[in-house]
Amino acid sequence: MTSARNSRYIAHRRYGTHLVRAVYEYVEELPVLLTVYFPYSDRYFKGGGVYEDKIFKGS
């Protein structure tokens, strides 16, 4: 999970040569999805672990 400005976050998970990236924010305790996109992983992923918040858990 990467923190963005204010209360927006970006979660991503790698799938082969692509990532699923979700931009979301919390309204009270509930995550609200703003946008999802599926770019090539080499554009955003520089190695390391899986960065996610609880919105991607279990998938």
- Given a contact cutoff of 8 angstroms between Cβ atoms, the answer to whether 10 and 2 are in contact is yes
Under a CB-based contact definition with an 8 Å cutoff, are residues 11 and 3 in contact?
no
> Which pair of structure tokens corresponds to residue 3?
């923190």
Q: What is the pLDDT along the chain (59 residues), one digit of tens a residue?
A: 544 456 788 888 888 899 888 899 888 888 899 999 998 888 776 666 555 555 555 44
The pLDDT of residue 4: 45
